[in-house]
Structure 1
């Protein structure tokens, strides 16, 4: 079976850099610049530190914006592919509307990504939730409550 063929229980989920993350990086850079100037540090130290803050913020923004888009395919049989390459140990975690995925590529390197609400609409979020391998079960553990 080809990886581009997705069964009824499978999912094809695109990933791209989030505008929310890019906006947050801009805001954090501006706040760091304001904090530098509000710190009552001598001007001789404030100017170079301000330049460093701006350079680091712009670099972080460019790196995040330049991350290449890809497509995660999870077939009904549990096989996962990223841009047509099979991946191992796919794990998906959820924190509210955010979805986090981690896997190992063919070279054994760990890869990660996060889908924010602007990059993963609710329909795709449901598809990913249904197609992703289920995590470790919490059944059978001891309860804190008596």
Structure 2
């Protein structure tokens, strides 16, 4: 995307006097985002036991919830200060073996309610 954004601006019918500065700005912004992502530290998340307890970077977290929407995994929790946090794994960032390991290690989702969810 960092390389395609400036090319898209230059390929548009925008006047060249405005297109070149915008293309350079898009390229610079993409480079800043790439640099920021490359410097972001890796996170270590571990489920401990079967009760839903978990560790994130060695610190205990609570209210852990793992939700799947197709191939995407959404993990939410509360940190020690009580703030809600969230991680998202795309299929290209989490290999299939690790996705399977995450599914197996995660606590079971809560069971459905006993009473029927639809009107009789």
TM-score (norm 1): 0.65
Structure 1 residues 36 and 128: CA distance shift in structure 2, 3 A: same
In the other structure, the counterpart of 2:14 is: 41
- What is the CA–CA distance in structure 1 between the aligned matches of 2:110 and 2:11, rounded to whole Å? 47
Question: 1:16 — aligned with what?
Answer: none
1:121 equivalenced with 2:95 (yes/no): yes
Root-mean-square deviation over aligned CA pairs = 2.4
Q: How many residues align?
A: 116
1:16-35 CA distance string (max 9 Å, x none)? xxxxxxxxxxxx12221121
Displacement of 1:123: 3.4
User: Structure 1 residue 53 and structure 2 residue 26: aligned?
Assistant: yes
Quickly say closer, same or farther: Cα 1:138–1:40, change in 2 above 3 A. Answer: farther
Task: Give the SS at the match of 2:3.
Answer: helix
Q: Deviations over 1:61-99 (max 9, x none)?
A: 122222211211111221111011111222212233332
Q: Quick one: higher RCO (CA 8 Å, sep 6+), 1 or 2?
A: 1
Structure number, greater radius of gyration: 2
Shift of 1:138: 6.1
